[in-house]
Amino acid sequence: MRRFAIVGHRAMSKGKLPLNDLAGGAGRMDVLIRAIMAALMTSHGLRKDTEIILHLLGGPGPARRIRFDGSTLIGIHAEERSIAGQIGKVIAQPLPPIGRWTEVTQGLSHSGGGLDVTLREWKDVPLIALDADAPRLWEKDVILPDVSQPNQSEIGFLLSDDKPLDQLPDGIQLRSLGTQWLQGHMAIGIVHFILDEGVTLNLA
């Protein structure tokens, strides 16, 4: 399973989502929605081997997590406003307790808690935070395989919205996709390409 944890520092966690102001009043929810689309969608379907968890930290009230599980997800479309509508239905509901996932529709669930809770749930998965100043994600002098050999390993990636991730806990490796800082959805697309092709990863 490929896992992506996306941190929305200002993304609203409760209330009526302003569908006409996703970049402003919703706390850069547009960034998170593009990450969902990049993580889960192919040209003609969904990635069944991928899940993405949004961390809505902007309030009002406690943080909320929303999980999209590609292995069972239905009813999602490649259209930003449609996905925003689904998120809006979730944050209008009462917040579940921290650590307890409550399904809203098939493959879509939510829970209380922040990134620290997710990382505890992923404790047995290699975790990578993408950072342009870190060593490359792939091994030195690696070449692309002539035949795609998808990487089937469990692996988790941490990304942020337009604000940096701070104070990452021990055990998380920093890796880059190059010296250019990329938007989150673009970085996710490159990660998928690397894993789809079976490029040898630079992991400790």
- Which run of H or of E encompasses 67? strand 64-69
Q: At what angle do helices 184-197 and 29-40 cross, to 10 degrees?
A: 10
- Of the pLDDT bands very low, low, confident and very high (cuts 50, 70, 90), residue 171 is confident
CB-based burial of residue 30 (10 Å sphere; 0-12 exposed, 13-18 middle, 19+ buried)? Answer: middle
CATH number of 2-197: 3.40.1280.10
Q: How far is CA 80 from the centre of its chain?
A: 16
pLDDT for res 90: 98
Quick check: 6 pLDDT over 90? yes
DSSP H stretches of helix in 1-92: 29-40, 80-91
Mark residue 195 as left, alpha or beta (left: phi above 0; alpha: psi -120 to 50; beta: remaining): alpha
Tens of pLDDT, residue by residue over 141-152, are 999 989 999 999
CB-based burial of residue 191 (10 Å sphere; 0-12 exposed, 13-18 middle, 19+ buried)? Answer: buried
Tens of pLDDT, residue by residue over 82-135, are 999 999 999 999 999 999 999 999 999 999 999 999 999 999 999 999 999 999
pTM tops 0.85 = yes
- Of the pLDDT bands very low, low, confident and very high (cuts 50, 70, 90), residue 78 is confident
Q: Where are the domains of the chain?
A: 2-197
pLDDT for res 14: 97
128: Cα within 13 Å, side-chain hemisphere: 25
pLDDT for res 166: 78
